[in-house]
Structure 1
Amino acid sequence: MAASARTKDVRKIPLLAVSYYYEHSRVEIPPGFSQRLKLYIFHYILNLGFGLAQFFDHVGIIPDVYFLRTLMNLVIPPPLKDKHLIIKDLRFEEVDVRIYQPKMSITGQRRGIVYFHGGAGQFGSIHAYERTCRYLARKSNSVVVSVGYRLAPEHPYPTQFEDCVTATVHFMRTAQDYGVDPSRIITCGDSSGGTLSTAVAQALGNRRDLPKLRAQILIYPYSQCVDFNLPSYQQNKRIPVLLKERTLYLGLKHLNKDLSVMEALFKGCHIPEDLKPKYQKWVSSDYIPHEFKTRGYEPSATHPFSKEVYTEVKSMFDPVYSPLLAEDSVIDRLPEAFILTCEYDVLRDDGLLYKKRLEDHGIKVTWCHLQEGFHGSVFLAVFGGIIGFQSGYKGLQEISNFLRLM
């Protein structure tokens, strides 16, 4: 980088600092939240990481995605050895996996859980989710396969989905080698991993060469790209940790799309007129129960359709990316589900709408709603201490209870 360019970037540091402070100062912590200070501190640390990532990316030191991955691996220390589990790193065809097998002897075969980590297709890892997968293996006495799918941008979408399908199919075909009953395999994931969980379940629903999945577990999943102004998006737009703008920013980065279309997406300019009737059957604030609108909701104004924006983001309508938009014939073949939603999460209503879609097709849904939950609270719970939140502990317990019934 030339000296003049470096000088110009250095001069922008105060502007970036002011911008970071402004974004941080707009954050809202729910007034009735019992662990208010802890959430505020955690958000401050997280937002500092995002701010540093954007700055280093801006001045050309390191792309933001690589900085955040490195930071995540540094701040998450490896857990101690677990005397209750046999843990192995394997490859299912070309996909890295880590498998957790309980040592306790049982009569018969165990259930199997295929876990897809969160991270918007760009972050997260087997290492980051080590404690989560250990917890599920121990508490439910299950064999857990943690899938280390390849990440964007090095491996563009839909590589992440393809790796998850490959790993799941391989495990279903070889389940008995790991003491697992092939008819008791469950997909599970949080955030974008929850999206992958249901996308994989949809992809395998019509496979006659495989046993049917026993269940799908969706922990605060992203499910649709049609409406970014649902009640949960409006109510929780400034509540940590998944701010409204950050949600769409990460989603567009995952697809390698132009970030300049964000405002048009928030306005709904990306929905073609001929597709609106179809999507409104599944995505509408009318389907969100009234009790979830009491914190405030204003119907969005109508804005004209932009063919240019639609062309740019058309891949967002793929059911792999937005599983709520799958055809009825696909939904009909899905297994029962466990869906976890959080009150203080922009994606709350994505989960509620997917729950309704499944129930409308007669699919059994076990629903867990965390009244003080926020996006990421279940993931944080396994670390305990200063970043463990009570709502997250409750979520983990409910997931374990569901698994023990499978």
Structure 2
Amino acid sequence: MELLAIFLAVLTVIVAISFYYEHPKAKIPPGFRQRLKIHIFHHLFNFVLGLAQLLDKVGITPEVSLLRIIMDGIPPLKEKHLFIKDLRFEKVEVRLYQPKTPTNGQRRGILYFHGGVGLFGSIRAYERTCRYLARNSNSVVVSVGYRLAPEHPYPSQFEDCLTATIHFLRTAQDYGVDPSRIIVCGDSSGGTLSAAVAQALVNRRDLPKLRAQILIYPFLQGVDFNLPSYQQNDGVPVLLRERTLTFGLKYLNEDLSLMPEILKGSHLPEDLQLKYQKWIHSDLIPPEFKTRGYKPSTKHPFSEEVYTRIKALIDTVFAPLIAEDSVIAQLPEAFILTCEYDVLRDDGVLYKKRLEDHGIKVTWCHLQQGFHGTIFLATYSRVVAFQSGNKGLEKIVDFLRLM
């Protein structure tokens, strides 16, 4: 027992030292208020990530295993106000949350797709979030436990979310839900999945239409990693610029050595660059989002090899922002949440513009003090939660109550 304690202590020191020197310090912008808390959160996350990588390298357990355990966290206490049941929608594991309070008529339904870059996250990890939404919006929430990469390669995650959504649309009344009041919702990569599912259903005439889509700081494009938000927030916890692409390539099971060329923008031929510039370009970002600094990126030569190997980066399931106009024009009403201190901020801003350009109603919540992950942390204790996350959750519930 004593030897084990010594081993763990030494391991901790090694990981801490290696991450201190190998990873850049957090670049917290001057305008961010809860600076000490975000610094602590940044170092804890880096430590866990470093330990996961070390355990993977020495062959003890895969990197994603420890990250999944940490993200799952400690389960919350028994819920008094909800009926909670584990089910299967076709072959997809789901957890259903139903308010115990009586209601006149049928409730709205929410399908929640969790974040985690398709690599980690789970029903258990988002237990608090789904309970909160069900209780505070008086909704039936279905948390979708889609399969994770790398064990289940992309696009298995999207296929599971689509399967669960179709099943719920068809059987909603069995759970006291009005089929015309079903909403897809997700954070981060779950926001990506929500957008992709909404797009996949626009031409389905055999199903009820989705009432709305809620996209919480979503990843929406793999075209340009040099937009203003990527430059301004490249070192802001927790989703650093290079970390975003690293996780994305791992999700797609692609070679990380391609990263430098992708970050430079060498992965797209000129014809596609011209096509996507209509929707993804710094000129489309409002001026107020450039005040913290922005330098137009230098154009680099196109690499046919890189393009051939990473075509999934411009698959609309992975990058819903580049869907055709004919699809965008048919999408349901949207709620989009963006955070000022998030590399993905401009993805949401650009998607908002695309939807509005086609007459789609968008409710936009921009958290001036927000950062990537703040909503996930909001349902934990005050020690962990940030003010921006609490505000964002309130805005989401306000939107839901109108649906």
- Tell me, yes or no, whether TM beats 0.5: yes
Residues 317-348 of structure 1, C-alpha deviation per residue, up to 9 Å, x if partnerless?
11000000101111111001000000000000
Shift of 1:82: 1.4
Alpha-carbon contact 1:24-1:44 (below 8 Å) kept: no
Map 1:90-239; keep pairs closer than 5 Å: 90-239=87-236
Q: Which stretch of the first structure deviates more once superposed, 13-22 or 377-386? A: 13-22
Cα separation, partners in 2 of 1:271 and 1:114, compared to 1, 3 Å: same
TM-score, length basis structure 2: 0.95
Shift of 1:15: 9.1
Who is 1:275 aligned against? 272
Separation in 1 of the partners of 2:44 and 2:382? 15
Separation in 2 of the partners of 1:35 and 1:239? 13
Who is 1:50 aligned against? 49
Who is 1:64 aligned against? 63
Alpha-carbon contact 1:30-1:36 (below 8 Å) kept: no
Who is 2:3 aligned against? none
Q: What SS does the corresponding residue of 1:81 show, helix, strand or coil? A: coil
Separation in 2 of the partners of 1:61 and 1:177? 45
Alpha-carbon contact 2:169-2:179 (below 8 Å) kept: yes
Cα separation, partners in 2 of 1:14 and 1:397, compared to 1, 3 Å: closer
Alpha-carbon contact 1:115-1:144 (below 8 Å) kept: yes
One of 353, 356, 363 as aligned partner of 1:356: 353
Amino acid at match of 2:128: R
Who is 1:385 aligned against? 382
Q: Which stretch of the first structure deviates more once superposed, 231-240 or 382-391? A: 382-391
Shift of 1:18: 5.4
Alpha-carbon contact 2:337-2:367 (below 8 Å) kept: yes
**Backbone CA RMSD of aligned residues:** 1.5
Shift of 1:14: 9.7
Residues 130-153 of structure 1, C-alpha deviation per residue, up to 9 Å, x if partnerless?
000000001110000000000000
Separation in 1 of the partners of 2:40 and 2:13? 23
Q: Does 2:397 align with 1:400?
A: yes
Shift of 1:403: 0.2
Alpha-carbon contact 1:117-1:126 (below 8 Å) kept: yes
Shift of 1:70: 2.3
Amino acid at match of 1:186: I
Structure 2 unaligned segments of length 5 or more: list them.
1-11
Separation in 2 of the partners of 1:112 and 1:70? 29
Identity %, equivalent residues:
73
Q: Does 2:84 align with 1:87?
A: yes
Q: What SS does the corresponding residue of 2:270 show, helix, strand or coil? A: coil
Alpha-carbon contact 2:226-2:297 (below 8 Å) kept: yes
Residues 284-327 of structure 1, C-alpha deviation per residue, up to 9 Å, x if partnerless?
00010000000000000010000000011101111000000101
Who is 1:336 aligned against? 333
